[in-house]
Amino acid sequence: MESLVRGGTRWRRFAVVMVPSVAATAAIGVALAQGALAASFSVSGQQFKVTADTLNGHGFVQYGNVVVPSGKGPQAVAVSAFTDATITGLCQSVVVPAPFVGDVTLKLTAGNNGKQVEAKNLYIDLDQLDADATFKDINIGVAAGATNPNYATVESQVAKDTEHGGAASFAQEAREADLTDVKQTAWATSAGTFKLAGLSLRLHKGSGAGVECY
């Protein structure tokens, strides 16, 4: 029997394609919520949006680097890294163009209703950040990881980035960083452990304000 057609879209066929991907994503999300997996979020050739009500991190460092997303040329990014961080009101969203359907937004939220997101060895490759920020024991213009003992657990990654043309020339670091009303665009996020308390993952038709995180 032919799939039902509405507005030019074969919804049954679309569902057959989408359901396994969504189910697999949901299973991974459950494992992340239980702290069972290391986490790495990157979208082939695309940026994604991230917001947070608060982010408190220790062993903070930020330095310049260059990444090459799939299908794109080199992109300059600022790498923000923390040995550990707690986040409230986290939202991540990415827009995926879907044939015959238009834009579909995948939106993930966590750390609401009194719960917190917890991350270890967190890295964010970003090219835009807006927030209110307070830094404690900050050093600016030093080699990343040079003076901050809290940063020792992720210093090897900084050294690797430096070797490939990243952090050697300029960086800043701080013992602790407090950010509120965070809004950023990123190319990739990775963490040794990412525990997403109160995880919610949804697909939304369309894109833009009111559908994405902002």
What residues pair up with 46 in beta bridges, in sequence order? 43
Q: End-to-end distance of the chain based on CA atoms, in angstroms?
A: 41
Cα distance between residue 6 and residue 146, in whole Å: 60
Cα distance between residue 119 and residue 110, in whole Å: 12
Structure tokens at 148: 């901050």
The pLDDT score that the predictor gives to residue 171 is: 80
Which residues, 6+ apart, have CB-to-CB distance to 2 below 8 Å?
none
Please give the mean pLDDT across all residues of the chain. Answer: 76
pLDDT tens sequence across 165-209: 444 456 888 999 999 999 999 998 888 888 899 999 999 999 999
- Where is pLDDT greater, at 87 or 21? 87
Is residue 140's pLDDT more than 80? yes
Is residue 134's pLDDT more than 50? yes
pTM over 0.85: no
Among candidate residues 55, 22, 82, 28, the one with its CA nearest the CA of residue 203: 22
The pLDDT score that the predictor gives to residue 45 is: 63
pLDDT tens sequence across 64-87: 888 877 777 788 889 999 999 999
Which residues, 6+ apart, have CB-to-CB distance to 207 below 8 Å?
95, 103, 105
The pLDDT score that the predictor gives to residue 69 is: 76
